[in-house]
Structure 1
Amino acid sequence: MKRFPLIALITFCSVASFVRADELQQYIELQRQAFSTCLTEKAQAALEAGVSQARIDNEFSNLNFVPRVIELDRSQPEFVSTFPDYFSKRVNQWRIDKGREKFQIYREFLNELTEKYGVPGHYIISFWGLETNYGGFKGTMSTLDSLATLACEPRRATFFTQELFLALKLMDRENLNKAQMQGSWAGAMGHTQFMPTAYTNYAIDGDNDGIVNLWESEKDALASAAHFLWKLGWTPGLRWGREVSLPEGFDYSLAGQASRPIAEWNSLGVTKTDNTPLGDIDIPAKLLIPAGASGPAFLTYGNFRTILRWNNSEFYGIAVGQLANRIIGGAAIVAPLPDLPKYSIAQMAEVQRNLNSLGFDVGGADGIIGPATRSGLRAFQASNALVPDGFPSPETVELLRSLAKQ
């Protein structure tokens, strides 16, 4: 019987899809066996990348393989998250009230940050609230152990190796120790959940004590968030977007497409939620309908794209913007959040396969509803006299299934 080297088996398994739990556990055991050898190689690479010999000697002998990190990295949600479910869990009354409290506590400091970086304080507080519940949960997993585990896992080894080395350099730069460096399973750290790259490049000293500590110093975290958003391209004086009302008979195929000037949306009958005109303003805006034609509609501006550079999720971006609004007394979403069907990943993969089979190319069938799938859904809906909102309504899903069987 032909035998393969351990590293070859690991590399092969790293691109496999683990259908059964026992397959994943076998793979994790292979990773465990290779971990020590991997660390020896990483230690030499760390030295070549500029990590101090003292730091390597002190930390590499104490790095641990964490099976749970691999499990979380390879786990997939069973169901597709809907916007109403996502939003209602994140922009809730507790988070609004706590955000208002934090906004008042740090109002003077936030004004200083706004003057320096152009980012209004309520947005900074909103990011903080969504990332860690205002510091209430910053993660409990060892950052170094998590990064080392992922750096030795072939699938994204290059990325996490760089993050591990930067984390080690940060320990010297900011006088940090392993015990305090805890965060998410993927290595995100502190009040604002910065990866080591973001920590290295954008975190700043907000409390003027000479060090940058995103776990212990709230001022460091708030200042770093403002600095990060400024570097990402935040435009001073521009809001993230707004909820809007769409006229009867609106062409929903325009949603999710290229930005248009606000004046053009105004001419198409799009209004503020109080039915007043948007105005004749030459600012590009993109229309989003995250829950389909039955849910709320939003026009999003340039700063929304900046939010997405922090976390590339439209649901996240709307939650940040709307929580920021509520923190300073803005209105709740006017349109009701619809009671949407709870689709599984497998059901959405079927939708993608059916679209492909009918000539609406959406790429692979991974069960994730991204821009390509929404575009395919809009094209299918438009060709079958359905509302072309790119949303997998029960009517759309059933018609797809029926036509694909013919």
Structure 2
Amino acid sequence: MRPLPLFLALCLAGPASAQTCGGSFGGFVDALRQEAIARGHAPDSVTRFFAPVRHDPAVITADRKQGVFQMPFVDFARRLISANRMQKGRQLAKQYDATFERIKREYGISRGVLLAFWAFETDYGAVQGDFNTLNALVTLSHDCRRPELFRPQIFAALELFEKGDFSPARTTGAWAGEIGMVQMLPRDILDNGVDGDGDGHVSLKTSAPDALMSGAKMLSELGWRPNEPWLQEVTLPQGMDWAQTGLRTVKPASEWAGMGVQARHGQIAGDLPASLLLPQGRNGPAFLAYPNFRVYFEWNQSFVYVLTAAYFANRLEGAPVFNAGTPARGLSDTQMKDLQRKLAARGYDVGEIDGILGAGTRAAVQDVQQELGLPADAWPTRDLLNRL
């Protein structure tokens, strides 16, 4: 499952929310009940909602294990983009053609984008997660690692329960509390849920039109620019200034074209702002990332996941398989953590020492490569680690 999305909310201040995390689990749930009543929810509704809640240790275990995002892009993409997912995606594009056409009209979002999320989040609805959602949200809120992310979702789930769209005992989903075919948190369902099939309910677990329309509305609210591209594979000229690559540098696409960057499929998108991405350095695949690409990070924070989802959307719409090139061998988990510690010691903000090549680590690597006179393509190698 994906790591937690960037849907941050502040906990309410005051006596009713004083116990923000930790302590006895029973006492924590009692405090949640009191806070819910203080928020104006009917006591009987609150009692029924919280009655079945239990602590789930498996949720905490899952929260600590996200090693798949340590894989490099080429390996990750090959693992997730199977022939079966390609075939199934094309079949579903035809089956729900009317829904996708409606999404295109109302939100300006291409069908490949939603199909890719649908595939990666739940294998087109087949694997939606079997964690009890309320147990997951309360367990993660009780845990003191990131309670501010999860606690507001409990009260959003309570609102869904009062609408008849959430069962405390039976609603299941991902370990992090996401529900349905495209995995949305309760707050996002309240804010962006769409009754796509017209039955009077938003059922993201059982209705593909509801899930797809809701996902499209959420992307739109997150800033998706209608009818614009998101990612495009390109080829690069000799003598490229690698220090200009990465998300920190943005130029008009026409300027990249003037530097010799060429599209492998289709045309460079005029004067749209774009960044040149080299997920595995100057000898690996290369992509131009347009403004809509950055919206993906509002759905998921993992660079390798985001890039793979954006690329898969292109593939579902006819783009060729990327040119993997011959990238230099990357670092192992242990080596990557060692690199992160060394970068942090030099004053760079690489975030958590987790062995994952995220945006912060990439930016630090690129800066240090420039400092050491190496090609600044943001791809860490054993040679770089040895020099540090």
Q: TM-score scaled by structure 1? A: 0.84
Among residues 254, 259, 270, which one is paired with 1:268 in the alignment?
Answer: 259
Q: Answer with 319-328 or 293-302: which moved more.
A: 319-328
Classify 1:390/1:277 alpha carbon distance in 2 versus 1 (closer, same or farther; 3 Å): same
Classify 1:353/1:322 alpha carbon distance in 2 versus 1 (closer, same or farther; 3 Å): closer
Q: Cα deviation per residue 1:301-359 (whole Å; 9 max; x = unaligned)? A: 11111222211333222222222222232211134374744511x322221333355x4
Which residue of 2 is the match for residue 319 of structure 1? Answer: 308
How far residue 258 of structure 1 moved from its aligned partner, in angstroms, is: 2.0
Among residues 172, 176, 179, which one is paired with 1:186 in the alignment?
Answer: 176
Please give the alpha-carbon distance, in whole angstroms, between the structure 2 residues aligned to 1:273 and 1:398: 35
SS at match of 1:242: strand
Q: Note if contact 1:91-1:322 (Cα within 8 Å) is conserved in structure 2.
A: no
What aligned pairs does 1:148-187 form with structure 2 within 5 A after superposition? 148-187=138-177
Among residues 96, 107, 117, which one is paired with 2:97 in the alignment?
Answer: 107
Classify 1:353/1:109 alpha carbon distance in 2 versus 1 (closer, same or farther; 3 Å): closer
Letter of the 1:117 counterpart: Y
Q: Note if contact 2:73-2:308 (Cα within 8 Å) is conserved in structure 1.
A: no
Classify 1:155/1:79 alpha carbon distance in 2 versus 1 (closer, same or farther; 3 Å): closer
Which residue of 1 is the match for residue 317 of structure 2? Answer: 328
Classify 1:318/1:392 alpha carbon distance in 2 versus 1 (closer, same or farther; 3 Å): same
Q: Answer with 59-68 or 95-104: which moved more.
A: 59-68
In the alignment, structure 1 residue 199 sits paired with structure 2 residue 150 = no
Which residue of 2 is the match for residue 5 of structure 1? Answer: none
What aligned pairs does 1:292-371 form with structure 2 within 5 A after superposition? 292-336=281-325, 338=327, 340-341=329-330, 343-344=332-333, 346-357=334-345, 359=346, 361-362=348-349, 366=353, 367-371=355-359
Please give the alpha-carbon distance, in whole angstroms, between the structure 2 residues aligned to 1:115 and 1:79: 34
Among residues 240, 245, 258, which one is paired with 2:249 in the alignment?
Answer: 258
How far residue 362 of structure 1 moved from its aligned partner, in angstroms, is: 3.9
Please give the alpha-carbon distance, in whole angstroms, between the structure 1 residues aligned to 2:262 and 2:111: 27
Q: Answer with 372-381 or 285-294: which moved more.
A: 372-381
Which residue of 2 is the match for residue 45 of structure 1? Answer: 35
Please give the alpha-carbon distance, in whole angstroms, between the structure 1 residues aligned to 2:352 and 2:105: 47
Q: CA RMSD in A?
A: 2.4
In the alignment, structure 1 residue 378 sits paired with structure 2 residue 366 = yes
Q: Note if contact 1:204-1:212 (Cα within 8 Å) is conserved in structure 2.
A: yes
Which residue of 1 is the match for residue 377 of structure 2? Answer: 389
How far residue 365 of structure 1 moved from its aligned partner, in angstroms, is: 6.3
In the alignment, structure 1 residue 219 sits paired with structure 2 residue 209 = yes
SS at match of 2:145: helix
Letter of the 2:253 counterpart: I
Letter of the 1:238 counterpart: E
How far residue 193 of structure 1 moved from its aligned partner, in angstroms, is: 0.4
Classify 1:114/1:180 alpha carbon distance in 2 versus 1 (closer, same or farther; 3 Å): farther
Please give the alpha-carbon distance, in whole angstroms, between the structure 2 residues aligned to 1:364 and 1:152: 23
Among residues 381, 398, 402, which one is paired with 2:386 in the alignment?
Answer: 398
How far residue 360 of structure 1 moved from its aligned partner, in angstroms, is: 6.0
How far residue 113 of structure 1 moved from its aligned partner, in angstroms, is: 1.9
Q: Which runs of 5+ in 1 are unaligned?
A: 1-10, 15-30, 401-406
Letter of the 1:353 counterpart: R
Classify 1:252/1:171 alpha carbon distance in 2 versus 1 (closer, same or farther; 3 Å): same
Please give the alpha-carbon distance, in whole angstroms, between the structure 2 residues aligned to 1:42 and 1:383: 52
Classify 1:188/1:268 alpha carbon distance in 2 versus 1 (closer, same or farther; 3 Å): same
Which residue of 2 is the match for residue 7 of structure 1? Answer: none
Larger radius of gyration: 1
Letter of the 2:259 counterpart: L
Which residue of 1 is the match for residue 83 of structure 2? Answer: 93
SS at match of 1:178: coil
What aligned pairs does 1:116-127 form with structure 2 within 5 A after superposition? 116-127=106-117
Please give the alpha-carbon distance, in whole angstroms, between the structure 2 residues aligned to 1:150 and 1:351: 30
Please give the alpha-carbon distance, in whole angstroms, between the structure 2 residues aligned to 1:200 and 1:278: 38
How far residue 215 of structure 1 moved from its aligned partner, in angstroms, is: 0.8
**How many aligned residue pairs are there?**
367
Q: Note if contact 2:50-2:168 (Cα within 8 Å) is conserved in structure 1.
A: no
Please give the alpha-carbon distance, in whole angstroms, between the structure 2 residues aligned to 1:277 and 1:141: 44
Please give the alpha-carbon distance, in whole angstroms, between the structure 1 residues aligned to 2:255 and 2:338: 37
Q: Note if contact 1:349-1:365 (Cα within 8 Å) is conserved in structure 2.
A: no
SS at match of 1:154: coil
Please give the alpha-carbon distance, in whole angstroms, between the structure 2 residues aligned to 1:143 and 1:335: 39
Q: Cα deviation per residue 1:90-149 (whole Å; 9 max; x = unaligned)? A: 222111111101101011221122111111222221211111110010000000111111
How far residue 229 of structure 1 moved from its aligned partner, in angstroms, is: 1.4
Q: Note if contact 2:281-2:377 (Cα within 8 Å) is conserved in structure 1.
A: yes
Q: Note if contact 1:151-1:161 (Cα within 8 Å) is conserved in structure 2.
A: yes
Larger helix proportion, structure 1 or 2?
Answer: 1
What aligned pairs does 1:20-59 form with structure 2 within 5 A after superposition? 34-59=24-49
Structure with larger RCO (C-alpha < 8 A, sep 6+):
2
Please give the alpha-carbon distance, in whole angstroms, between the structure 2 residues aligned to 1:233 and 1:252: 29
Which residue of 1 is the match for residue 4 of structure 2? Answer: none
